[in-house]
Structures are given as structure tokens and as C-alpha cells.
A and B are shown apart, each in its own frame.
With several copies, the nearest count.
Chain A
Amino acid sequence: MSHEAAAPPAAPKPTKAPALNRLSLDLKAYKGANSTLCSGCGHDSITNAIIKSFFEYGVEPHRVAKLSGIGCSSKTTAYFLSRSHGFNSVHGRMAAVATGSNMANHTLLNIGVSGDGDTASIGLGHFLHMVRRNPQLVYLVENNGCYGLTKGQFSATADKGSLQKGGAVNRMDPIDICALAIEMGCGFVARSFSGDAKQLNQLLKAAIAHKGTALIDVVSPCVTFNNHEGSTKSYPYARAHEELIHEVGFVPFFEEISVDYDAGTTQVVELHDHSKVVLKKLERDYDPTNRRQALELLSHAQENQLFLTGLVYLDPSMPSMAEQLDLGSEPLATLPAEKLRPSPTALAEIMETFK
């Protein structure tokens, strides 16, 4: 099934977005600096999707921390949410930097933007270990199958047989970031396409509402180095091959759902903030809360070089890192200094044990 044929997501009904969100902020409050990416770059579409989703969900900008590694994709954190603190760190380490940021202040929502090189090559180990820890983080991989910023070398997500601009053939199987994330226990795993603004929007809002780490692997064409014939991460290829697993809808906690869904065709999963993910069946019967099914879907897709998008796996119950660390409501970053130093009596008590 091609993407063009897909009906818009079922719920909420697509209405014209209001000019102000529930915080009375306008869309502009969610924008950032001008992009310096190539015009047409998939990453810019994702930036727009982020702006829209955070606006619609009504996230307070100052409660967001934007984190990234290095790459064209990683630059984009400067292009949205200019009223949020941002940290464009070093190549491949964002997952661990975000972990630290979340330890310091677990009340912030981290949004991490990375590339396929940043995540699946140099950063693979950190990414997987971060997933195990489950910090509060929307983790986006802007996946173009190549290293954009260093001019188009193959990355580890390049499909087998895919051609480089110069003609070189990729001989290795791609790394499936989603499959690895599920293997490592990630509770929210999705795949999307930068050209599919609607799906991305719903997925992003669901990711914002998710407790713990939410991974979205977004195929995002590099128009300059990987948009030619023979590339499987080009716009034409992705457009022609995108196949929806289901239609993804999202109902935020602050909106009432009045209609009842047909349990036969629609699956509703409630997230920890009482937002709801609404999945409407298309061709296949797929339950994204079933880990085994999710892994099978991905290996089926990999074996048959299918480009399936949607919410691959969802388990809203995984304890977040902050829960595992038993952190209180006040973030460590702003605890008053008095609370950080044990008393002189405590020191004296300890000194006794060394006598």
C-alpha cells in the first residue's frame, strides 16, 4: 500500500490548528533560528513537525532541553524551540549527555535529535545503553542512510545494494535501529518518514506523552548526497515504498474523546499522562504492544526490504530512569545548597568510624 492511498489518521479529526495552544502560545513561540541546511533537506520537514507537535501538545518551552550530537541532523536543534535550552554536543555521545541532563533535571522533557551516523555508527553503544536506562527523552534519528555533513559517505543504516552518489555499492546489511531498541527494552519505538508530516505529528505528540525514552526513526532524505536513483533513502524511493502499519492517531490528555472506537478496527493505548494513542487498522492485524510481533514485523520488513512506518512497539509501563533512581519532585539541579551538605555531626560520626 502506498502512502498516498492512506486516509488521514482517524482521531482526532483533522481540524485547522488554532492560532494559540492551551498555554496561549502561538506557533512562533516554538520556532527557532533559520535553518542553514540545504533547501529540500528532509531534516527541515522534521523540524517543522517538531514545532507543530510541541505547539499542539502545549509543551512549555522552558521545560524542554534540546540535545544533539554532530551532523546536519544534529544542527536542527537550533532551528526549533528557541526558548528552550539547547545543547549541540559531540559526535555520537548525545545519548549519554541526555542521560546526564535527565539525571540533573528529570522534570524536563529532553528532545534528542541525532543522525544515522551519530546513532548507529559512533554512538551505537551509548544509544543502546541509554535505551536500557530509559531516561525521559524523545529520541529522533533523522535517518538518511549517509553522513550528510561530511558529504555523503554510507552510514550503517544504508541498505544493502544501495548506491552512493559516486556509484559505489553498499555491501552490508543495514542496522535496524528500531529492532535494536526493542531488543534493549525500549518502551516506545516508531518508524516514520519526513515526508509524512501527519503521521510524524501524531507520533511526536505520543512520544512527548510517553514516560521514558521514545524512539522515532525517521527516514529523512539527504537531497544533496543521497537522493539519486539507486538510493533507498531518496524521496522518490521513500514515497513509492512507504507502507503504513496502521494509522496513528493521538488524543492528548487535555482533549475529551467523545466517540467510541470499534475495537475490531481500532486499538487504543493509554499513556501515563492519560493521553491516548489511537491505532486504526489498515491491511494488517498488528498489535504494537506485543514485543514478539514487533520484532517479527521488523525482521520481515528487513528481509523483504519493506519500508513500514507507524508505531512499531509500545509499552507505556516501563519504569523511567528517574523512577529507578527514586528521584523526588525537585530536580537535583535546583535543590537548595543546604540540602546538599550533610551536617557537621554527620562528619563527626563518620570520623569516629575511622579512629
Chain B
Amino acid sequence: MSEASPTSSESQSANRPRVNDVTISVATSNGTGSQSANLILMRSIFNMGIPVGAKNMFPSNIQGLPTWFTVRASAAGWSGRRRLIDLCVAMNEESVVDDIAQLPPGATLVLHKSLEKYAQRTDLVVHVVPFDDLVSGLVKEPKLSKLVVNMIYVGVVAHLFAIDMKEVERAIQRQFSKKASAAKINLDAATVGHVWAEANLPQSATHRLERMSATDGKIIIEGNQATALGLVFGGMTVLGWYPITPSSSVAEVTIDYLSKYRKDPETGKPTYAVIQAEDELASMAIVVGAGWAGARAATATSGPGISLMGELVGLAYFAEIPAVIVDVQRMGPSTGLPTRVSQGDIFSAYHLSHGDGKHPLLLPGNVRECFEFAAESLDLAERLQTVIFVMLDLDLGMNLWSSDPFEPIAKPIDRGKVLDEAQLAKVGSFARYKDVDGDGIPYRTIPGNPHPLAAYFTRGTGHTEAATYSEKAQDWKGNLDRLTRKFDTARTLMPRPVLKAATPGQVAEIGVIAFGSSDPAVEESRAELASQGMAIDYLRLRALPIDREVREFIEAHRVVYVVEQNRDAQLASILKAELPERATALRSVLLYSGLPADAQSVTEDIVRQESKEGRA
């Protein structure tokens, strides 16, 4: 589960317990119902007002393989993965050897009694818990006890770190709000664990949780859920999709909210249509057909789906059809690790399809941006008449993130350059692929427009400004050059990068560029590096293609580390090709083990590279 060999834990350094800074890992096997116990554990801490995040590392099957859930409470608000675990609840024989081996000295191990024999390390605080005995006092039915046993460790952990049992209870009530009996049995189990621990275990000497108020008014949400809400509030009208991990919940949650919030108030009829297609070729074809016919159409998929959509994306690029693709990236190539984290589709999405062509990518870095960019993507697709990718990854998309509640979208829906009958009558002429405004974006009409000039013929083959067939060299080149202009317009319309100077108003020597789910790790790493005396400016990229700010940032720094979660330095390659003058200033920090990005790996790599240069 972790790539690190144990090193001495920071938690050893102080004598008094660290407050509100702990990482807990629960190792179970999937399909055993540990998920709700884990959520309750997280929620209890959240309820105490402590910033908390969770990462679920689950296998690509449905039941029986090792799975890990880590909860990180951090007064400082760090929400990235931490490599070193402070407390491990080890429930699974299949992974217990590794689970124990990778704990740092001084860490606490809560061990299922049946696994006692594995507890050979003397540098750990080991608590063996008779889970089976405790649960058998509660329920007899084996299936139920399998589920309920997990709640017992919640009680144990609550005792160890002084989590308020009132908050555990609140979290249980919330989780089982529709099933009082389930709430009761789970509360009983947590209580049993708590009572047993109180009687048998000392509280943690190293860590402690104390109430604060940093989570007031906040929400906890997954990026896929936020994205779904963005599509619903962004006015998507057609969704064509095909299930694939880790993107399925984007579509599934979208469908749920559509059915609740997107009925026409006058007629009661849906203002959307959804089809679960037979495959990704069809889901993209549906999006392309719908976008052509005037819908705000989207699909959600992951890497293998992206590969299958290539030809149709090329068609949409060239025929200039609005379309949105949400790509919740997983680990490729090939089927890869469907339940692991990667930013490996940057290249394939940016250049998708044969022949020339580039597509704008939105790169949300947190759940709020998932919401906002998903909504924005529909506007951009229609404004630019092209395919817009919204790039998430499994960490951002399927893990739980705390956030301020999302604000209503202020900007009205933008349908781009569409000429309806009246407008067409007014302008009096129409050539589908003519650059009327000099921004490379032509006007379009929507099928059904009754104006005699409205109809045009869409094709993936060479065409003139008037959309007639042409194989003429100058028509082809003229059109392709206009598409380049359009892409340059896109640069100005995409969300701007977020700039954070190490010292406000000053420019540091070193810069870092990152995007997406790397953000928390990079922020934490900057803090770590700052504490080592290394000041680093940060540009968080929020879209491709790049514009002025990125160029200026790279120009302003001696060296810029590009942090990305893939092997091939995909973003760095794009930046080098676009900014050859600064190609040598770009260094890569590459994370591609499949685990969510962590600060330490970033810090170590930057320190290593800087010291090679004799700078650090």
C-alpha cells in the first residue's frame, strides 16, 4: 500500500501528544462493510471541527481483496496523502505483514486478535483487540457480525485519540438516518469498542484530537459528485455514458440529481435525456450527434473509454461540434490499475485522434472546481464549438474532500455563437465555417431552424467556409489555420492559473507547476521546503492550452518543477514544446506508483534535484 520503507516518525519528536495531526489507516478487505465504519470515523472527527480528509485505496474487484482507508486529521488543513501512518487498524490477514512492516517506529497498531502472531515488532505500540469476542456479545448472525465488527474499531480509536463519543453517535445517526435499527446496532458496537478500550488500553501518548471549529459550515463531498452537480447546474441536456471505474459515479449521481432537479416546472417533463450506451464509441457518438443537433451534451469515462473515443473526438474537433468529456483518470496504460490514481491521460486527451488537432482541458484542483469547471465546460464547449475535457482523477473524483459549500453559478448559461431564425434573418447571410469575428470561431445554426439559409452540411472531410465539400489545398489549409486561431482564442477563455508566491510581491528562484489532485501534496511540500529554507512560488495550472501567465511564470524562475502523476512527464513535454526558450528550466517531479500524491515524495525529489545542482 505504500512505497516507503519505515523511517523514524515525526510523532516521536515531542513528549506531549500532538494535537489534531494524525493519520489513521484501516486495513480490511473489501466488500466487508468497513466502508461505513470508516466514514463514521472520519465524520466524527469532522464533527469535532477538525479538518479531515480520507482516502480509500480499494482493489479492482468487488469483494475479498485488501483495501485501505486512511483518515487524516490536520489542524493545518493538509489533505494530501501522508506516507507515514500514525495508527494502523489491521483487520486483514492478507495484508497484515506489509501493513505492519511499513509502520514507522513508534506508531500505534490496533490488531485483530487472530493476527496477534504477526506482531513481532518491538518498536510499535501494539493493542491487540479481541474483536470477535466483543462482537459475539452483540450479535450472533455471522453476516451481521462481519459488518458490525468494524464499528468496534471506531470505538477503540475514539478512545485512543479522545474522539468525543457524542460525535461518533451523531455520525452514526447521520449515516443510518433511514434505518433506526441499523443505527442502534452500530452505535452499540462502537460503544462496546469504546468501553473495552477505556478499560484495557491507555489513551495515545503521541496523538490526541481536540475540538476546534475549522469545519463549521463545510461540506464533505467526492469530486465525482461535485462534477455531477456541475453538469446538472451547468444545464447539460444530453448524457450518453458507459460504466467504467472510476467515472461511473459521475453519471450515476448526475442521473439522480437530474431526476430530482431538472423537471420543467411547467410541464413536469425532464429537461434532459440520458442513455446508457452499449460502449464508449456509442456514448461519444451520442454526444456528438446531440451536440450537433443543439444539445449541451456530455459523457463521463476513464482511460480505456478515451482511447475508444478518438475517432469521434477528431470528428467533433474538425466538424466543430460542442461536446464535453469528463475523464476521471485511472492508472494506465491498458486496463492498468482501475482503482488507482494517475494523471496519465493528459497527453492522450490533449492530442486525441489521428491527424492534427488539440483539445482544451480543464484541470480542476479541488471539489469546488469540479463543480464549477463541469458547469463551465458546457459553456466553453458551445462557445468554442469543440470538445472540452474535464480531467479528474480517482483521488479527486472518488475520495472525500472537505470544502466550503458551492456557490450558485452567477454567469448565465452561454450557448455561444448560435444563429436562430430571427438573427439569421437580420444578418442575412451564413457560412458555417467563416471566421466572421476574427477569433477563429464561426457561427452555427441548429437543425430545425426554419430559415431558408439555416441548413448546412456537416462533414468530417475537407470543406469550404460555406460547408461545401472541398479537396482544394487552400481550403484545407485555410480551415486548419482558422482552427489554430480558434485554439488561440481558447487560451484566453480558459480558467486562469492560480499563482501563489512564496513571499507575496516577490519572485522566488524556484517555481513549481502542478494541477489537479497534486495540489494538496504540493502545498504541503512547499510548507515543508519553506521550513527547510527553500522558498518556492507555485502556479497551479487549471487548464490547457496555456496562456501568458504560464509563460511569464516559467520565464521568471530559474527553474520550475513540474509535478505530475505520470511516468512520461506529459505536461512537461507539452510545456517544453510550447516554450522552447525555457525548455531547460523545466524539471519533472513524477509520481506514478498509483497512490495519491504525497508531500514527502515531492519534497524529497525537489531537494534531490536541487542538491544535485549544488543549490540546496
- Give the complex CA separation of A86 and B456 in angstroms: 7
What string of 1s and 0s marks CB contacts (under 8 Å) between A220-231 and chain B?
A: 000010000000
- Chain B interface residues toward A at CB < 8 A: 31, 59-65, 217-221, 225, 229, 232-238, 240, 242-245, 248, 257, 261-262, 264-265, 267, 269-283, 285-297, 304, 311-312, 315, 319, 334-335, 405-406, 408-409, 412-413, 415, 445-452, 454-461, 468-469
- Give the complex CA separation of A21 and B74 in angstroms: 63
| A65 partner residues in chain B, CB cutoff 8 A | 293, 447-448
Q: For residue A122, which residue of chain B has the nearest CB?
A: B279
User: Residue A355 at the B interface, CB < 8 A?
Assistant: yes
Is A331's CB under 8 angstroms from B285's CB? no
Q: List 7 A-B contacts (CB under 8 A).
A: A39-B63, A70-B460, A90-B311, A93-B281, A153-B243, A347-B229, A350-B261
- Give the complex CA separation of A100 and B289 in angstroms: 5
- Give the complex CA separation of A328 and B265 in angstroms: 12
User: Residue A208 at the B interface, CB < 8 A?
Assistant: no
What string of 1s and 0s marks CB contacts (under 8 Å) between A92-109 and chain B?
A: 110111111111110110
Is A62's CB under 8 angstroms from B455's CB? yes
- Taking CB atoms and an 8 Å cut-off, the chain A residues in 44-89 that contact chain B are 60-63, 65, 67, 70, 72, 75, 77-78, 82-89
| B272 partner residues in chain A, CB cutoff 8 A | 332
| B294 partner residues in chain A, CB cutoff 8 A | 104-105, 331-334
Pick the residue among B273, B304, B312, B457 that contacts A332 (CB under 8 A).
B273
Is B237's CB under 8 angstroms from A327's CB? no
Known contacts A65-B447, A100-B286; A82 and B455 CB within 8 A of each other:
yes
- Give the complex CA separation of A344 and B229 in angstroms: 12
Is A351's CB under 8 angstroms from B286's CB? no
User: Residue A193 at the B interface, CB < 8 A?
Assistant: no
Is B296's CB under 8 angstroms from A340's CB? yes
Is B447's CB under 8 angstroms from A93's CB? no
| B406 partner residues in chain A, CB cutoff 8 A | 347, 351
User: Residue A151 at the B interface, CB < 8 A?
Assistant: yes
Q: For residue B237, which residue of chain A has the nearest CB?
A: A332
Known contacts A96-B285, A337-B413, A341-B233; A62 and B450 CB within 8 A of each other:
yes
Is B248's CB under 8 angstroms from A151's CB? yes
Total A-B residue pairs with C-beta atoms closer than 8 Å?
285
- Give the complex CA separation of A129 and B457 in angstroms: 26
| A156 partner residues in chain B, CB cutoff 8 A | 278
**B543 CB, min distance to chain A CBs, angstroms:** 22
Is A355's CB under 8 angstroms from B217's CB? yes
- Give the complex CA separation of A341 and B415 in angstroms: 13
Pick the residue among A83, A103, A148, A325 that contacts B295 (CB under 8 A).
A103
Pick the residue among B269, B409, B468 that contacts A326 (CB under 8 A).
B269
| A83 partner residues in chain B, CB cutoff 8 A | 452, 455
| A334 partner residues in chain B, CB cutoff 8 A | 294, 446, 448
- Give the complex CA separation of A105 and B468 in angstroms: 24
| A126 partner residues in chain B, CB cutoff 8 A | 278, 281-282, 285
User: Residue A301 at the B interface, CB < 8 A?
Assistant: no
- Give the complex CA separation of A13 and B73 in angstroms: 66
Pick the residue among B234, B264, B289, B469 that contacts A99 (CB under 8 A).
B289
| A330 partner residues in chain B, CB cutoff 8 A | 264, 267
Additional A-B contacts beyond A153-B276, A332-B271, A337-B413 (19; CB < 8 A): A36-B64, A37-B63, A84-B455, A89-B288, A90-B315, A91-B304, A93-B281, A96-B240, A97-B285, A102-B293, A103-B286, A108-B447, A122-B242, A129-B277, A327-B269, A337-B415, A340-B296, A344-B408, A351-B406
Pick the residue among B237, B244, B248 that contacts A333 (CB under 8 A).
B237
Is B61's CB under 8 angstroms from A90's CB? no
| A91 partner residues in chain B, CB cutoff 8 A | 279, 304
- Give the complex CA separation of A133 and B408 in angstroms: 36
Pick the residue among B62, B334, B413, B459 that contacts A149 (CB under 8 A).
B62
Is A89's CB under 8 angstroms from B285's CB? yes
| B275 partner residues in chain A, CB cutoff 8 A | 99, 103, 133
**A104 CB, min distance to chain B CBs, angstroms:** 4
- Give the complex CA separation of A88 and B291 in angstroms: 14
| A224 partner residues in chain B, CB cutoff 8 A | 31, 62-63
Q: For residue B241, which residue of chain A has the nearest CB?
A: A153
Is B450's CB under 8 angstroms from A78's CB? no
| B468 partner residues in chain A, CB cutoff 8 A | 33
- Give the complex CA separation of A255 and B320 in angstroms: 42
Q: For residue A150, which residue of chain B has the nearest CB?
A: B243
- Give the complex CA separation of A324 and B273 in angstroms: 10
Q: For residue B64, which residue of chain A has the nearest CB?
A: A36
Q: For residue A93, which residue of chain B has the nearest CB?
A: B285
Is B245's CB under 8 angstroms from A104's CB? no
- Give the complex CA separation of A60 and B286 in angstroms: 25
Known contacts A39-B64, A100-B286, A149-B62; A88 and B295 CB within 8 A of each other:
no
User: Residue A147 at the B interface, CB < 8 A?
Assistant: yes
| B295 partner residues in chain A, CB cutoff 8 A | 100, 103-105, 332-333
Known contacts A108-B448, A335-B271, A342-B261; A100 and B281 CB within 8 A of each other:
no
Known contacts A38-B63, A108-B447; A87 and B292 CB within 8 A of each other:
yes
- Give the complex CA separation of A122 and B277 in angstroms: 9
Q: For residue A347, which residue of chain B has the nearest CB?
A: B408
| B245 partner residues in chain A, CB cutoff 8 A | 149-150
User: Residue A154 at the B interface, CB < 8 A?
Assistant: yes
Is B289's CB under 8 angstroms from A104's CB? yes
- Taking CB atoms and an 8 Å cut-off, the chain A residues in 308-355 that contact chain B are 325-335, 337, 339-342, 344, 346-348, 350-351, 354-355
Pick the residue among A77, A96, A328, A342 that contacts B282 (CB under 8 A).
A96
User: Residue A244 at the B interface, CB < 8 A?
Assistant: no
- Give the complex CA separation of A19 and B162 in angstroms: 60
